[in-house]
Amino acid sequence: METEKLIDGKPVSLYTIVNANGMTCDITNYGAKIIRLYAPDRNKKFEDVVLAFDTLEEVIEKEEYYGAVCGRFANRIKDGKFSIDGKEYTLAINNGTNALHGGVDAYNTKVWDVIKEEETKLVLGLFSPDGEEGYPGNLQITLTYELTNDNALSVHYEATTDKPTVIGLTQHSYFNLKGAGNGTIKDHQLQINADFYTVLDESFALTGEIRPVEGTPFDFRQPVLIGDRIDDEVYVPGWGMDNNWCLRKEQQGDCVLAGYIYEPVSGRKMEVFTTQPGMQIYTGNWIEKQTGKEGKTYDRQDAVCLETQGFPNSPNIPFFPSPVLRPGQKYDEWCIYKFSVE
């Protein structure tokens, strides 16, 4: 990827953070996207485990969510409408009848400001003006990526507003623990610490119904081979998983182990910790066959996203954990991807 280019008058560059173990992560301030993430296998061989592209032009023109931070509200808001304090807001529609991942010109398309660059840490900022994509309030966001010496990549979101708004940010990296472009993720094991999941309507928006995973194909409390479940008719028939699980925690805001993926040949394991209430598992169902980094081919179900998030459509479902942020409050959430080997 080019080292620097101007978009909307702002410089776009690629930044590298590294820890003491040689683990590295390349991040661009265009969309706050993770472009490369090198993790060791059980033989200490490093492999890039996220899907992305080699050039900025491809990052802009091809799959828009690879590695991106999505917002102002990640996932779907039904019919692109919600109300706060009796006032209705109408959003940009970009996914069937729904608003998805913040809209048409959302945070994944913005040039983020670089606040601080250190060896292990990159701090980015974004100002999201009142009315952008239909969302109320001037929102100021600080995003911190950090590689720690226990081989964890932490993502810390902080935000404030000057008007009541909704917010829900997520990191949308597409993972393959064999290495990006090295085939399907059906041979990965998936474990999720959730006793309940949320139900989708025909438009893939949440209905508000929450069901127990017990006795269903949504039960990942013990690790399951993704290939054994991915084609189950309870998911998108013939395509795969794109569902939200309600994470088990004592109280909202606790940072808990949401779950993990494990790839047995390399021995790589990635645990996901978060303060957020939900986690979306998306198995790359809509990836169109394309050429990715180093000329490798990406295809459907060649990656899995573990998107920690507020519950989708929660602006319209009062008994879901509230996504409303008010003046004087601070949005403060974490997602941590911790790598190890077994």
Point out the residues that are catalytic. Answer: 172, 307
d(CA 24, CA 38): 5
Q: Are 174 and 305 in contact (CB under 8 A)?
A: yes
d(CA 235, CA 249): 25
Phi first, then psi, for residue 132 (nearest 5°) are -60, 125
Closest listed residue to residue 52, CA positions, set 176, 146, 170: 176
Beta bridge mates, 111: 30
> What separation in angstroms does the CA of 289 have from each of 96, 181, 221, 296?
22, 11, 32, 11
Reported residue count of the chain is 342
Name the DSSP letter for residue 311.
Answer: P
Closest listed residue to residue 153, CA positions, set 328, 57, 3, 32: 32
Q: Are 91 and 77 in contact (CB under 8 A)?
A: yes
Peptide bond just before 72 cis, omega within 30 deg: yes
Q: How many CB atoms lie within 10 A of CB 174?
A: 26
Sign for the pseudo-dihedral over CA of 71, 77, 80, 84: negative
Radius of gyration (C-alpha) of the chain in whole angstroms: 19
Strand 324-325 with 165-166, pairing: antiparallel
Phi first, then psi, for residue 290 (nearest 5°) are -155, 165
Q: Are 182 and 48 in contact (CB under 8 A)?
A: no
